[in-house]
A and B are shown apart, each in its own frame.
Chain A
Amino acid sequence: MDPLMPPPVRRIAIDRDPHVAAPRPAGVSNGAAAVAGGAAQLRTARPEVTHVSERMRTEAVWLAYGENWVVRDVTLPVRQGEVLALIGASGSGKTTLLRSMNRLTEITEGAARSGRITLDSRDIYELEVNELRRRVSMVFQQPNPFPMSIFDNVVYALAEQAPARGRRRRRTPELEQAAEEALRRAGLWEEVGDDLGRSALKLSGGQQQRLCIARALAARPEVLLLDEPCSALDPISTATIEELIIGLRETVAIVIVTHNLQQAFRVADHVAFMHLGELIEYGPSSQVFDRPAREQTRDYISGAFG
C-alpha cells in the first residue's frame, strides 16, 4: 500500500463471509502483482470515507435466462462508503448480477432467480419495484439520455410518476435547485449550468454519461449500479467519471461492472471476480490484485484470458 495513503477506517460487521469457493493453499503472488504493482501509482487520490455500512447483500443468488444459469450461488455485500467492482470475462454474469439488484432482469423474458437480495436487510422482492429502482439506481454502458432538454432529463427522475402537465416542466425553484445539485454531484454543472434548456443529445458522449449519472443521482438513490459506464468513452471522460465515482462513494453505495482491470484497480475498494457465473474471489482491491488467492483470478488479472 502507498504509505502516504492511510487505509480508510472501516467498521464493518458481516454475518456471513462472501461465498467464495475455498481457496487452494498457494502462496502465490507473481504475474498479478506485476500488473497491480505497476498500477499502484495510477490510483487516483481517494478522499477519506468516515463511515462504511452494509446496504445491500446478495445471498446465494442464482439467476437464469431460460435454461441457462448465468449466475451461480453468489453472495456479496454492497457497502456504502466503498466502491465494489465486479470483474470477469464476458459471459461471467457480472451484468446480470448487477441488473438483478434493481430487478431489471425482470424485463427480460424468461429470466428466473433464486436466493435473496436484500436492501437494508429487507428482501427487495418485498419492496414495490418502482420504489426499489428509485432507491437502487442504474447507469448503463451506452449513455442513454432521453431526447429532451438537460433540465427535463434530470427532473424526469425526480417526479414520483407522471411529472407536472405540459411538455416543458415548469421550472419551480425547488426543481431548479434539485437539478443543479444533481448536476453538481455529477460534475456537469460547470459545463452545462448556463443553458439547461439545450437538448441532451447535443452533449458529448462523456457529458451524456455524466448527465445519466446526474439523472440517476437526482432521485437520491442509496445504491448506484454502474454497468461499464466508461466503455464507450474516451480516456479523459473516463478519468472524470472515475474521480466522480470515488467522490460519490461516501454518500452512495456503488457497484461497478468493468472489463477494464486498471479501472477496477483505480476505483474499487473491494473487488469481486466472477467466472462463468461463479464468484471466484472477493476481497479488498489491493489483496485481489496483489495476492489473488485463486489461480483463475491470477490468470485473469495477468491477462491469460478474457
Chain B
Amino acid sequence: MATAAISPSPGEAPVAVPPPRDRISAWPIVDRLAYLLCWVTGIALCLIAVAIVLYMFVKGIAYLRPGLFIQSPSPSLHQTQSGGFRDPIEGTLIVTAIGIAIAAPIGVGIAAWLSEYGRPASLARVVESAIEMLAGAPSIVLAIFGLLIFSKGFLSFLSQEAAEGALGESFINAGIVMSLIALPLVVGSTRAALAQVPDRLREASYALGKTRITTIRYVLLPAIRPSMASGIVLGMGRIIGDTAIVTILLGASLKNEPVGGAPILSTLRGTGSTLTTYVYNNSPAGEGNSHEKAYAAAFVLLMIVLALNAIVTRLTRGGERPEGRTGRVFQLWRLVPGLR
C-alpha cells in the first residue's frame, strides 16, 4: 500500500532506500578515461604527500634527540659537539611573532576598508593591485628591497651600525619584511569572509544607529573571526617556511647574536637564524654538513607547518557550524591585540 510506505508505523525502523546506482560501465569511453585520469592523479598526489611525510618522519625521528631542542648550535666539525637547534627555533618564533603582529592588524584593516568602504573606487583598485603584487613577488626580491632600506644609517637603531650606515640584518627587519609576505593572505581571507557576510547583518546594525566603524568592529569582525584567524595562521605558515628573507635580513648566523645591552631589544636588533636556514646550512649543500641534524630540523619544521594547517582546517570548519564557535584552544586571534 502506498500510504504505508510514506508513513511507517512508529515501531518500525526506517529503511534507507539507496539511490539508483550510476554504473560506470554505462558511461561513454571518454568519460571513463577522464575519470580514470582524475583518479590516478589524485592518488598519485596523495602518495607523494604521504611519501614526504613518511620519509621525513623516519629520517627525522631517527636523528631527533630531546637535547637538540635545548642546545644552541656551536661551530664544530664533530656531530657530537655541534649542538642543537634551540636558537633557530627561537628565531622562527620571534620572526613569526613580529611578522604576524604587524600583518594581522594591518591586513584586517585593509580588508575592512576594501570591503566596507572601498571609495574612491580607483584608490581601492590600486590597493588591490598592490596586494596582488605583494602576493606574487618572490620573497627574495622583498628581502633585497628591505636590505636597501634598512641599511640606511638613520635606521641603524633597528639593527646595528656598520661601516656604511647600518648592517640591516636583525630580527626586527626580518619580521617587518616577513609581514609583507603574510599580508596578502590575511587580507585575502578576511576580505572573502566579509564579502560573504549577508547585507542584512550590516543593515540591522545601521538601522540601530551604529556607524560603519562600530558595525565592523562589533558585528562584522566577530562574525568572521574563524576566517580571519585562518588567514592569520596561513600567514604564519608562510613566514615560518620562508628562507630568503632570513638569509638576507637576519644574517642566518649560527647563533642568535644580541646587539647592545637592553634585555629584549638586544635580541631583536641582533642577527640569528630560523629553522629553514638551519636546515639549509646543515644540509649537504650548506657548510655545516651535518645532514642528520638537518633532517631532524626539517622534520620539526614540517610538523609545525602541518599543525598550522590542521588549525586552519579546524578553524574554517568551525566557522560553518551554526553557532559559529570554535574551540578555545584554537582561538589564536586572542594573541592579536585589538582583534579578539
User: Which residues of A approach B to under 8 Å, CB–CB?
Assistant: 102, 104, 107, 129-135, 137-138, 140, 142, 144-148, 156-157, 161-163, 166-167, 199, 201-202, 212, 215-216, 219
The answer to whether A102 and B214 touch across the interface, beta carbons within 8 angstroms, is no
Note all chain B residues with C-beta closer than 8 A to A107: 202-203, 206
A-B contact pairs, 19 of them (CB 8 A): A102-B207, A104-B203, A104-B206, A107-B202, A107-B206, A133-B206, A134-B208, A138-B207, A144-B203, A146-B201, A147-B223, A147-B324, A156-B205, A156-B218, A157-B208, A167-B222, A201-B324, A216-B208, A219-B208
Note all chain A residues with C-beta closer than 8 A to B222: 147-148, 167
For the A-B complex with A133-B207, A137-B209, A140-B203 known, give 14 more contacts whose Cβ atoms are closer than 8 Å: A130-B209, A132-B209, A137-B207, A137-B208, A138-B203, A140-B207, A144-B198, A147-B222, A156-B210, A156-B219, A161-B210, A161-B214, A215-B204, A216-B207
**Given that A162-B217, A201-B323 are known contacts, is A140 also in contact with B200, CB under 8 Å in the complex?**
yes
**Given that A144-B201, A147-B223 are known contacts, is A162 also in contact with B214, CB under 8 Å in the complex?**
yes
Please tell me the number of chain B residues within 8 Å of chain A, measured between CB atoms.
25
B322 close to A (CB within 8 Å): yes
The answer to whether A212 and B204 touch across the interface, beta carbons within 8 angstroms, is yes
The answer to whether B223 and A201 touch across the interface, beta carbons within 8 angstroms, is no
Note all chain A residues with C-beta closer than 8 A to B325: 199
Q: How far, in Å, is A233 (CB) from chain B's closest CB?
A: 15
Note all chain A residues with C-beta closer than 8 A to B32: none
The answer to whether B203 and A133 touch across the interface, beta carbons within 8 angstroms, is no
Note all chain A residues with C-beta closer than 8 A to B207: 102, 104, 133, 137-138, 140, 216
**Given that A104-B206, A201-B322 are known contacts, is A144 also in contact with B200, CB under 8 Å in the complex?**
yes
- State in angstroms the CA–CA spacing of A10 and B206 once bound together: 34
- State in angstroms the CA–CA spacing of A215 and B210 once bound together: 13
Q: How far, in Å, is B205 (CB) from chain A's closest CB?
A: 7
Note all chain B residues with C-beta closer than 8 A to A129: 209
Q: How many pairs, one residue from A and one from B, have CB atoms within 8 Å of each other in the complex?
A: 78
B74 close to A (CB within 8 Å): no
Note all chain B residues with C-beta closer than 8 A to A199: 323-325
The answer to whether A142 and B200 touch across the interface, beta carbons within 8 angstroms, is yes
* Main secondary structure on B side of the interface with A: helix
Note all chain A residues with C-beta closer than 8 A to B219: 146, 156
Give the residue of A131, A142, A146, A147 whose beta carbon is less than 8 angstroms from that of B209: A131
- State in angstroms the CA–CA spacing of A216 and B205 once bound together: 10
Give the residue of B198, B204, B323 whose beta carbon is less than 8 angstroms from that of A202: B323
B211 close to A (CB within 8 Å): yes
The answer to whether B223 and A146 touch across the interface, beta carbons within 8 angstroms, is yes
B65 close to A (CB within 8 Å): no
- State in angstroms the CA–CA spacing of A152 and B45 once bound together: 47
- State in angstroms the CA–CA spacing of A7 and B104 once bound together: 62
Nearest B-chain residue to A106, judged by Cβ? B206
Contact digits for B176-206, partner A, Cβ 8 Å, 1 yes 0 no: 0000000000000000000000101111111
- State in angstroms the CA–CA spacing of A145 and B205 once bound together: 10
Note all chain B residues with C-beta closer than 8 A to A131: 209
Note all chain B residues with C-beta closer than 8 A to A201: 322-324
Note all chain A residues with C-beta closer than 8 A to B209: 129-135, 137, 219
The answer to whether B200 and A130 touch across the interface, beta carbons within 8 angstroms, is no
Note all chain B residues with C-beta closer than 8 A to A215: 204, 208
Nearest B-chain residue to A131, judged by Cβ? B209
Nearest A-chain residue to B204, judged by Cβ? A144
Contact digits for B96-122, partner A, Cβ 8 Å, 1 yes 0 no: 000000000000000000000000000
Contact digits for B296-334, partner A, Cβ 8 Å, 1 yes 0 no: 000000000000000000000000001111000000000
- State in angstroms the CA–CA spacing of A156 and B201 once bound together: 13
Q: How far, in Å, is B286 (CB) from chain A's closest CB?
A: 47
- State in angstroms the CA–CA spacing of A305 and B210 once bound together: 39
Nearest A-chain residue to B323, judged by Cβ? A199
The answer to whether B323 and A130 touch across the interface, beta carbons within 8 angstroms, is no
Note all chain A residues with C-beta closer than 8 A to B211: 130, 161
Q: How far, in Å, is A168 (CB) from chain B's closest CB?
A: 10
- State in angstroms the CA–CA spacing of A140 and B202 once bound together: 12
- State in angstroms the CA–CA spacing of A219 and B214 once bound together: 16
